[in-house]
Chains A and B, each alone.
Chain A
């Protein structure tokens, strides 16, 4: 019986394949990025692996880690300030900076890779917790390793951390480790604004598992609601800090609105607009629709809580003004990839083709990332 097999046993059986996947995927992506820089004629420090990994938002996280938050509009574009980024990842960088000679960039690379490595194990455990077999679990991990733009899991970006915290929160909730799930969820909302959507997963999970009565009478088993109530804690602490620092608790939204132009619009306006925009925006919209369709696979597995979380995340992103990132948003939505892995696990050729195709796109995007092309934002 799967339930009788301990997490430790699962980890032991998965350690080697997950470590190999992690190492090979990282090495290949870094080699592609470094080679791209060489071919582009970039030499010296700018072509070093560490610098190649620092693109786009990386500089914001490093700035917060090194200098703290500042209300100054330092982004080069009016309205952009480092309050546009949540604090947990830069805080971790700060924690690890003394071990990297005070260098935020190397600390960021170390933290991201560590988080991604840990996340692969949590994802593996999660798939096994769902009662799915080892092949599905390994294929899910493989998809995450080769998914386009997975280079950000090794860059100073929040994706690795968010994947780790999301998988940990979901896993511990399913294992009924409510406090651990709550702590992970609270940290998730301190890492990224949409981390608070974990509440959707937790509520639907309670409903699916214990029925509507459990939701309506929370005093009967209050421990199940620890993750729900803890989830917004990280975000609220950040809001409080923002209020003290700037007089604006919603400093994140303020700078995102003025600096990055993030406003809400209904998805039925946004998505067609994106599709008609052409270029990366159209591609981003098409990929998002594909992800939404893939999330339907979770319904087939009766993974309603996972589906609710994924679809709410997709809709939230559709409400934003612009699917600027073509692939990056979807890396963290690992339940979708469980659904996909479930379909392909019984078809080795299909699984190989899927991973091969995703890997090739990933390679191209690693080149784009190294060259700073907009498609890799």
Chain B
């Protein structure tokens, strides 16, 4: 037996409304969602940093033997039997509160860029508060060479430096313990220094 036309019409309309509801809800979800773990990690790092502002020259050390992991926002992971902190995402954040002065600062990153013979170079980009301050090709012999960037006074004046380190290629660290990383591209960091321009090493 076939249902009357009006009943089929009502049912079809109701299903259409539900389907449209999914699309509207999905649009709302996409536009209003931020990765909650990223948000809460960055918030925690920001709060810690604001409570412990840096007075240049200052050096922060990271990893199991470091003391300043709380300054790190999202994108880092500590690996067993490895020094420093390692990037777990292509973008990793460090939150540095400092005295709001209109003076340039030098930010030095003690990075470790591990590459493979197939992909011997990796690009590391550093930005502060959304401004890209430079990018470097690293890997192989200069994989451990520090990266130094000059942070303009206009950014220092805000009192909060949101340092983003971006790398082009990164192997998954998931299942690192079983030696199943995808291609061996890893980037780590052992320390960060914030110096006044005149006292910064060349």
- Cα A250 to Cα B38 with chains together (Å): 12
Which are the 7 A-B pairs with shortest beta-carbon distances? A261-B174, A249-B29, A248-B36, A246-B36, A222-B12, A254-B35, A222-B11
**Which DSSP category, helix, strand, loop or mixed, fits chain B's interface?**
helix
B19 beta carbon closer than 8 Å to chain A = yes
Q: Which residues of chain B come closer than 8 Å to A279, judged between CB atoms? A: 178
A277 beta carbon closer than 8 Å to chain B = yes
**Which one of A89-97, A144-152, A236-244 is at the interface?**
A236-244
Seen from chain B, the residues whose Cβ lies within 8 Å of a Cβ on chain A are 3, 8-9, 11-12, 15, 18-19, 22, 25-26, 28-30, 32-40, 74, 77, 88-89, 172-175, 178, 180, 182
Given A229-B18, A321-B174, A322-B174: A218 and B33 interface contact (C-beta under 8 Å)? no
In the complex, which of the residues B18, B36, B182 contacts A247, with contact meaning CB atoms closer than 8 Å?
B36
Q: Number of A interface residues at 8 Å Cβ cutoff, please give it.
A: 42
A71 beta carbon closer than 8 Å to chain B = yes
A268 beta carbon closer than 8 Å to chain B = no
Q: Which residues of chain A come closer than 8 Å to B11, judged between CB atoms? A: 222-223, 226
A81 touches B15 (CB 8 A): no
Given A218-B12, A221-B8: A249 and B77 interface contact (C-beta under 8 Å)? no
A79 beta carbon closer than 8 Å to chain B = yes
Given A218-B12, A240-B25, A273-B182: A79 and B37 interface contact (C-beta under 8 Å)? yes
A248 touches B18 (CB 8 A): no
Q: Which residues of chain A come closer than 8 Å to B22, judged between CB atoms? A: 232, 236
Question: How far, in Å, is B33 (CB) from chain A's closest CB?
Answer: 5
List the B residue with the shortest CB-CB distance to A251: B36
A8 beta carbon closer than 8 Å to chain B = no
Given A79-B37, A250-B29, A250-B33: A260 and B174 interface contact (C-beta under 8 Å)? yes
Give 18 A-B pairs besides A236-B25, A279-B178 with Cβ atoms closer than 8 angstroms.
Answer: A71-B36, A218-B15, A219-B8, A219-B9, A219-B12, A239-B25, A247-B32, A248-B33, A249-B32, A249-B33, A250-B35, A254-B35, A254-B36, A255-B37, A258-B35, A258-B89, A259-B37, A321-B172
**Residues 202 to 252 of chain A near chain B (Cβ within 8 Å):** 218-223, 225-226, 229-230, 232-233, 236, 239-240, 243, 246-251
